[in-house]
Amino acid sequence: MNIGAIMSLIEETSTYKSYGKVIQVIGLMIESLGPRTHIGEVCYIHTTNEQKKTVMAEVVGFKGDNIILMPYTEVSEIAPGCLVEATGKPLTIKVGRSLLGHVIDPLGRSLDQTHLPNGLHDYVTDQAPPNPMLRPPIQEPIQTGVKSIDSLLTVGKGQRIGLFAGSGVGKSTLLGMIARNSNADINVIALIGERGREVREFLEKELGQSGLKKSIVVVATSDQPALMRIKGAYTATAISEYFRNLGYDVNLLMDSITRVAMAQREIGLATGEPPTTKGYTPSVFNILPKLLERTGTSEHGTITAFYTVLVDGDDMNDPIADAVRGILDGHFILDRKLAERGHFPAINILKSISRVMNQIVDRNHIKIAQQLRSYLATFEENRELIQIGAYKKGTNRNVDQAIHLQPKIATFLKQDMNDYYAFSETVRMMEDLIHGRNRE
């Protein structure tokens, strides 16, 4: 850093600290008289007990001249009169390439009992989305290593995809497969609202050592306050942006965006917002596009984002599912019926779509994929007739071909969680399947 930059930093540094004091605590909210702050600013609350703890909190609203704060952690030591110190800054984390392989919390602190490496840089977690006029179009496919995706639902570098499913249909397993097998430079994985038991299971079983080596994992478990769960999503997105600005192709895998919305609903209701659809507050539908639009392409690099969306009772018209589907560039539906038949990954190809696939693959790939979809659709339309034996062979040539190819297509779309297929290999296998049918 040169002398001019140091002098500028000294001039910008405040020479005094601004304090307020806690006047009441109601539920999730801490109300204080002063200090002078703005929305999103981090404050320190100094407790008066023997431990003299310092509690981090964020300004989430105002009530007259009073400040409404929400702590990042559960607290029981705060009492009336505790000093509230303004920092003048939003939440900032440490980030850098040496962070790869580490598991951190939403505040950027290590969770795996290791010290954070040296040489990290400060980065503000709340950033504005890129200028839409500076976003390059999506032009190149990215390999996920999952046959059913690379063949029929091809994802482009910088695309944003939603994985829609109920609980227990294989979302986490599919995310782990993508993280291990993708040819992206770096994975940033956000586990938001997960059970504490599932975190280590995901790291050891789904992700594995090979996946963790090129990943940064951000964890906010379900027992943590709502603000920490929201900040988990913001921190993971900010880390992705940092590497995108350096020119990397980044995968952001967030499980799940629904729990982020639920956390924002908690905060909205606590600050007095009126509940609307299914109890969700207006701020939920305000933050979703702001968060999701931060990913995608930029003039420097790309963030290919996969967001899991929990749907209550497999209802795809859930308000959060509906809002997210309208923002993203594609949706993959994980079908419980397929999972019950032992078909994994349980992606329902006919109900899923990649909105940029036709722009990023060649004509031959598109033609073969459309043929495969056609056979799947024909078989599904006649499934009941076929199962009860009401369909007679020779009645319809297309149905005959669909019935003949169905076992081969099902085998092609199935994949063990430890299997890996390169993009070119997947396309060749799909071609062989279709050409084999033509030769007979």
Residue 7 forms part of a structural domain: no
CA–CA separation, 35 and 20 (whole Å): 4
CATH number at residue 99: 3.40.50.12240
Collapsed DSSP state (helix, strand, coil) of residue 192: strand
Together in a domain, 381 and 302: no
The region of weakest confidence among 14-23, 60-69, 287-296 is 14-23
Residue 198 forms part of a structural domain: yes
pLDDT (0 to 100) of residue 324:
95
Together in a domain, 343 and 385: no
Residue 6 forms part of a structural domain: no
Helix (H) and strand (E) counts in the chain? 15, 17
4, pLDDT greater than 80: no
379-417 confidence digits (pLDDT tens): 999 988 888 888 888 888 899 999 999 999 999 999 999
The mean predicted confidence, pLDDT, of the chain is 90
Domain edge (last residue) among 90, 124, 144:
90
Together in a domain, 274 and 297: yes
307-328 confidence digits (pLDDT tens): 999 987 666 778 999 999 999 9
Residue 141 forms part of a structural domain: yes
Residue 421 forms part of a structural domain: yes
Look at the chain and count its residues.
Answer: 440
Strand bridging mode 160-165 / 186-194: unpaired
Compute how many other C-beta atoms are within 10 angstroms of the C-beta atom of residue 208: 16
pLDDT (0 to 100) of residue 10:
65
Together in a domain, 26 and 124: no
251-283 confidence digits (pLDDT tens): 999 998 999 999 999 999 888 889 888 889 999
Structure tokens at 297: 């392409």
Together in a domain, 29 and 45: yes
pTM, two decimal places: 0.91
Domain edge (last residue) among 359, 376, 396:
359
CATH number at residue 429: 1.20.1270.330
Together in a domain, 202 and 146: yes
126-184 confidence digits (pLDDT tens): 999 999 999 999 999 999 999 999 999 999 999 999 999 888 888 889 999 999 999 99
Domain edge (last residue) among 90, 123, 143:
90
Together in a domain, 336 and 398: no
Together in a domain, 54 and 22: yes
438, pLDDT greater than 50: no
pLDDT (0 to 100) of residue 56:
92
pLDDT (0 to 100) of residue 389:
84
Collapsed DSSP state (helix, strand, coil) of residue 216: strand
Cβ contact 142:155 at 8 Å: yes
Residue 4 forms part of a structural domain: no
CATH number at residue 49: 2.40.10.170
Residue 237 forms part of a structural domain: yes
Phi-psi region at 170: left, alpha or beta (left = phi > 0; alpha = psi -120 to 50) = left
29-45 confidence digits (pLDDT tens): 899 998 989 999 999 99
Residue 5 forms part of a structural domain: no
pLDDT (0 to 100) of residue 440:
39
Residue range 241-246: average pLDDT?
96
Helix (H) or strand (E) holding 369: helix 363-381
Together in a domain, 98 and 229: yes
CA angle 127, 308, 244 (to 5 degrees): 35
Range of the domain at 270: 93-359
Together in a domain, 120 and 259: yes
Together in a domain, 170 and 235: yes
Together in a domain, 304 and 349: yes
The structural domain count of the chain equals 3
Which of 107, 108, 125 is CA-nearest to residue 57?
107
Percent of the chain with pLDDT over 90: 68
